[in-house]
Each structure stands twice: as C-alpha cells, then as structure tokens.
Structure 1
Amino acid sequence: MKVRVTGLGSWPGDDLAPVVRMTLGELPDLPYLPELPARGVGSQMIGRTGAILTDLGMDLQPNGWRLTDAPGIDHRRAQARFREDLDILEEQAQGYAGPLKLAFAGPWTMAAMIERSRGDRVLADHGARRELGQALGEGIGRTLAEVRRRLPEVEPVLQLDEPLLPSVGAGKVPTASGFSRFRSVDVPELSGALSGILAVADSAYPGVRSALHCCAPGIDPDLVFGAGIGALSVPAEHLTGALLDRIGPAVESGRGLWLGVAPTDVPDVTTRPDHLAAAALRLLQPLELGAAWSDRLVLTPACGLAGWSTRPALQLLRHLGEAADIVGEQLER
C-alpha cells in the first residue's frame, strides 16, 4: 500500500527556487508550493492569501491587515511577490506531471484575522464575510487556472488552512478590545463558505482534489466533509478515539486523512522514522480499515516548519518518507 507524504506550507529561508526543487525531489507523490514567511508579512499566510483576492484591497496596519477600497503598498508588494512565486514555480516544475499542492488561508481564518475598513474584524459582519469569501474563491479559481495554463501536466491540489475555524464556530474569537468574543457562526454558513470556494475551484480545474488543514483542536470532521472537502489534515495529537470514530466512516466512503504525525513544536528536533510509524499505527490500526487507506492516507508534519532550520526540516520530511513505507506495509497486513 502506498502512503504519501507532503509538507503543510511554511518552510525556513527566503529563496523559493531551491525549496520548490526540494519539494519536487523529496516529495514526488505530493510536492507543493511552499510559503516562506521569512520574506516578510506579504509572504505569510494572511498576506499571501490576500494577494490573490479579487476586487478587494488591503493595507497593513500596526494590528494587522485591513480591507480598503484599493490595494495599499504592502498589498501590492504581496501581489507582486506571488506573481514572482508563480514564475519560479513554472520554471522549476517544467516537465513535471502529477499532483501539486497549493495552500491558502480559508475563508473563516481570513475573516477572523482581517479588519473591515470601519474597524473590527470581517467576522463581525455577515455581508463582509460573504464578500471576502467570494473574493477568495474567485482568487483561488483564477490561480488554479493560471497554474493549469503555465503547467498543463500538473494536477492542482487545493489546501485550505483553517486554524481558526473551530474558534469561529464556537464563538471564541476575541474582539479588538479583547473584552468580548464574536458571536459564533452557524454550521450552514461555515459549510456554505467552504463549499462555495470548492465550487469555484472545480470550475477552474474540474475534479480538483482538496484538503482542509487545521492545527488547532476542536475541528468538526462532519462540517469539513459535509462541505465537500476531500481530506482532513490534523495533527496526530488532536485525534481522540471519538474523533477517529467519526473519521473512519468518511475514509471508507472515499475521504482522506492527512495525519500530522511528526511533531513540530520544538524546532530542529526530529523524531525517528520507526517512532513516527508506531505513532501513526497506534491511531490507525484499531479502525481496521485495511485497504481503505490506500491513496487516502498522507503523512505530514504536525504544522508548518517556518521556525526550523533547513537541514532538520529536510530530515523531518525524509523521516516521514521512511515512516510512510513502514505504515503502508503494516496496514496491508
């Protein structure tokens, strides 16, 4: 059984070209376009995703990004940087055929992090969050179409990063003052924003595969899979028995699990491949899904690796590759 390995987004350093070459060489089953936060706020999760928004401008304030009528200088720099990233991707991936993952912040993390022009977060305003979600969906669709045009043999895989989705659903996102919390968003609206983005992505690249990554506890797999997301990406430490019992039937029906089995909380400290494999098998074998895991299981770091040094980060990916071989052999038995 083939168990794939991929990274989740952020990577150390500020030179994209060698990192793209690294993902293509070290992660042949699921390479990705990495995020390099060390290059500045426009290359970090919110700024980089903001670079693809259609018909919405942003500017950078002391307390973060804010929506504006027209892009500010930091937004324009982020847009230019992302265009350069696509140029580098096109150059480095010439001749590559197969899946290639692109990651963007999801609509609910964006709404919880970006301010409206009149103050407070987009999350506070139903109309503003709907508009932001539509702009994000259209931007993702255009980006997938652009990658398809530049690299016709590539099969884009969409990853939505939603670390704040559980907090948005539970009404735990603090207001600007910090003295209160935004009201929780109902499940139909949470799901509708995600499925709306998938619909636009699918129109740009029919059959595009998708995953939602959440490194925070409390993610609802029924919400994620009910929105049409193809795979759930979570750290192994957050997978309780009850949560696995809800994920198991989804895997049997064709959904995927991206298991963040390699700890990332202590930078530059890697775990042995056999220990990674053992941790994964402790979670997966009790489900007794056997061959159902084929092509549905991906091993990943628990979270991004921006705080790491390059050599240990690369070693972590290689250890995951060795662990994936062990896990695949054991699950086939």
Structure 2
Amino acid sequence: MTTDPAPTTARDSVSPLAVDPAEAARHGLAPAAEPAEPGRVRALVGGTWRGLNAAEAALATLGEAGDAHWPLLPELPDRGPGAEPVGRTAALLPDLAVDLQPHGWRISPPGARSNGMDHRRATAHLSEDLHRLADTAGAEGIGIDRLAVRVVGPLSLLGSLWLPGGERVAVDAGARRDVAAAWTEGVAGLLSRLRTEAGARRTALWIDEPLAAAVLAGALPTASGYRTVRSVPRDEARTHWRAALAVLAGEEARASGVAPAQVWIDAGRRGCSAEEGPGPAELALLASEALPTPVAPAADDGRSGSAAQTVGVALDAPDPDVPAGPAAWDVVGGWSEAGRPLAIRHVAGRGPAALMRDVERVGLDPALTVGWTMMGPAVVGKEALRRTAQAADELEDRRTDLAG
C-alpha cells in the first residue's frame, strides 16, 4: 500500500543512516559507522545572538554553514534567565533541581520541586532552539548532516553553581562528584536530541571552560567575597574530563553503538590573573592527559595513524611575535602532529594568510591543518558567520595549494 508523502521537517525525517534499528532506535542515538567524507578545514558557524528571534538565528546559521561547516545551535541570552550558558547547561543535569538566586544558579534544597519555574524556563528555551532549527531546516529543504552545540564544561559549572547553603559547588567534594557525573549524563542526552530532534548524523560538542584556570588556581571568591574557594585538585579535574570524554567521544560511546562526537575543550582564564593559575599550554596538557582511547575513524579525514582522535582543544590564533606565542604554537604543533583536532579562534589581524605564513614559519607541515576548525567571535550576526566560514574556506584553499 502506498500513501502520498506528507510535508516533513528535519525532526520528522531523520536519515536512515543516522539510526541503527536496534540500540540506536531504543536510545535515540546514531550508530558508530558514518559515511566517509574527505577531510578539510572547517568552520564552527554560530555563537551568541542578540535579540529574541530564534528562527532568524537558525536560518542564518544553517545558510552560512552550508554543507562543509559545523552549524552551532544558536544561543539567544536576551530572552532572559535560562537562555544564558550557565542556566542552559544547569537545566541539563538529571535528578538535580536548579533555581535562580540573586547570586546565580543554585542546586535547589532537598525536597524542592524538580520542575520549578526557573528550571522549566531554561528547558523550554533549549527545546525552542532545537525545534526552530529543525523546523527551519525542513521549511528550507536543508539537510542537517552535522550539528554542534556549546555547553559550559564541568569544571566551570562547579565554579558557577551554588549549593543550598550559599557556597559554590566547588567547595564540596561530594557535590563536585555528583554534578560532574550528572553533567556527563545530561550532555550525552543533549547529543542524542541533536540526532533525534534535528536529524543530525554527526554531532560536535564545544565544551566551554572559561573558569577552568580559576577553579584550578583557587581564585574564585567565596559568597562573602573575603576569601577564595580552595582549588580543585588537578587529578580530580583530569578525572572529571576523562570520565566525560570516554562517554561522549571514546570507546564507551562506540561500545554503546554511538558515533563519538567531535569535541573541543575550550579552557580559559576568566577570573584568574595573568600571574596565577595554569596558562593555555598547561591547560592543553591537562586536556591531553584526559583524552579517551582513540577510536577508529569514521571518515578519511586525511590524518595519519590507525585511529583518529575525536577530542581537541580550542585556542586563539597564536601570534609568534608575542611572549606567549611560542608556547601556544607548541600546543598547536603538538596536537596537530598527533592527529588531534584543533579549533582555532579567528581573531582580528590573524587572518588565513597570516595564519598559514606562521604555520610555515614555525615549521609545521601545512597538510596537518586538515584537522583544524575555525571559530568566530563570541557574539555573532550573519556577517560574522559569513566571515568565519570564508576564513575556513580560504585556509583550506591555501592548504590544498601548498599540498599540491
């Protein structure tokens, strides 16, 4: 029996390639095998938008990303509490109720309703973003082959969330453990939603850790402001990252029938002076120590070795002529030569031409930039998205010219 086809959206028509009839269908997750695609320099197209129009942001993001680049699920914090990064991420935590207090997002006291107004509002904002993206893609006839999302990382969430007693989660070892475990479970569920609700066959995760250095240095102020929170041990931080990455991008993902997500750890130094705490190179080293076991590549991405890494770091485009430049280039070179992906933040004055000149200047093989992803500014508009995609395209052209 045949029926007339009905109009669909991306949420209604997930590609058969994206769903395994057995395990994946039961869990809403994609199978480990994906169709091969050639490696190239890509862009992470998206970020924080001004205004309230989720549909406009979705259309611009999908349009500028095209087939070659990663569209990033738009964020519209102007809609109010729960639409900003911390609230959006906190609402993902399963079995942990959160609410908004004057000093920030708090884990609700025992016995509090798990679906309070603040939590429901944050959840609704995220659902709207996903649905708008899927509906826009369906209306425009755009297939969502790949989709990325940004979340606040576990270390920064420990420094941003507050306990019922009025101190940061970072002060309590048991609370840190519970929040980190809930973060992993919640983010895994979010990646599943990218596949089932938006139809994405490939997913990527931008783990934004702006407070990583401050958490590790013990630089965050207590509630009173007179003292600082004791530093989280680096061994513990490494453990939190490693446990999360194993589930999201390592062999545990493969074992459960899930295509590992592409992940970038963006560890920053907000709230930490230049003299205290780990620098970018130390944070990158800590991330490398938390890497999961490499998984077999799902695509011919142009990188050497029998297995491709799916986890990398994000950093600003380094300038070799500033004091911190050589150390940053050591990070870029080390990660690139190891076949690990990198996200390079496109900054003013460090365009593709200058970047590729620096690649050759520091002795890095230009062919290794195939694992790079260009990132744009934090606050975006359509023109900023276009410039980021163009920067990636230009860098890719220069890479292929030098390789030829």
Q: Distance in 1 between matches of 2:314 and 2:95?
A: 30
Q: Distance in 1 between matches of 2:165 and 2:375?
A: 40
Task: Give the partner amino acid of 2:391.
Answer: L
Per the normalisation by structure 1, the TM-score is 0.86
- Whether 1:313 and 2:384 are equivalent positions in the alignment is yes
User: 3-state SS of the aligned residue for 2:150?
Assistant: strand
Alignment counterpart, residue 260 of structure 2, candidates 202, 207, 217: 207
Change (3 A) 1:317 1:250: closer
Q: Deviations over 1:271-323 (max 9, x none)?
A: 6xxx61244235432142232221x111112x4116xxx35534543553454
Larger mean CA deviation between 190-199 and 321-330 belongs to 321-330
Deviation of 1:99 after TM superposition, in Å, equals 2.2
Change (3 A) 1:97 1:312: closer
Task: Give the partner amino acid of 2:287.
Answer: V
Count residues in correspondence.
318
- Whether 1:170 and 2:246 are equivalent positions in the alignment is no
Contact 2:106 2:164 in 1 (8 A): yes
Q: Distance in 2 between matches of 1:166 and 1:279?
A: 29
User: 3-state SS of the aligned residue for 1:52?
Assistant: coil
Q: Distance in 2 between matches of 1:331 and 1:117?
A: 57
Task: Give the partner amino acid of 1:172.
Answer: A
1:55-70 counterparts in 2 under 5 A?
Answer: 55-68=95-108, 69=112, 70=114
Q: Deviations over 1:235-261 (max 9, x none)?
A: 225862123213422221221121112
Higher helix share: 1
Deviation of 1:26 after TM superposition, in Å, equals 0.9
Determine the structure 2 residue equivalent to 1:224: 287
Fraction of identical pairs, as percent: 31
Q: Distance in 2 between matches of 1:132 and 1:8?
A: 27
Q: Distance in 2 between matches of 1:237 and 1:14?
A: 34
Determine the structure 1 residue equivalent to 2:10: none
Task: Give the partner amino acid of 1:293.
Answer: T
Q: Distance in 2 between matches of 1:151 and 1:284?
A: 37
Whichever of the two has the greater Rg, that structure is 2
Alignment counterpart, residue 236 of structure 1, candidates 284, 299, 317: 317
Determine the structure 2 residue equivalent to 1:47: 87
1:256-267 counterparts in 2 under 5 A?
Answer: 256-263=341-348
Alignment counterpart, residue 369 of structure 2, candidates 293, 299, 314: 293
Change (3 A) 1:153 1:304: closer
1:51-200 counterparts in 2 under 5 A?
Answer: 51-68=91-108, 69=112, 70-94=114-138, 96-200=143-247
Change (3 A) 1:8 1:315: closer
Contact 2:54 2:132 in 1 (8 A): yes
Provide structure 1 residue ranges, at least 5 long, that are not aligned to the other structure. Answer: 264-270
Determine the structure 2 residue equivalent to 1:332: 403
Determine the structure 2 residue equivalent to 1:23: 61
Change (3 A) 1:104 1:253: same
Determine the structure 1 residue equivalent to 2:35: none
Task: Give the partner amino acid of 1:92.
Answer: T
User: 3-state SS of the aligned residue for 1:5?
Assistant: strand
Deviation of 1:121 after TM superposition, in Å, equals 0.4
Q: Distance in 2 between matches of 1:225 and 1:324?
A: 25
Determine the structure 2 residue equivalent to 1:304: 378
User: 3-state SS of the aligned residue for 2:92?
Assistant: coil
Contact 1:173 1:181 in 2 (8 A): yes
Per the normalisation by structure 2, the TM-score is 0.72
Deviation of 1:35 after TM superposition, in Å, equals 1.0
Determine the structure 1 residue equivalent to 2:333: 248
Provide structure 2 residue ranges, at least 5 long, that are not aligned to the other structure. Answer: 1-38, 292-309
Deviation of 1:139 after TM superposition, in Å, equals 0.8
Task: Give the partner amino acid of 1:277.
Answer: P
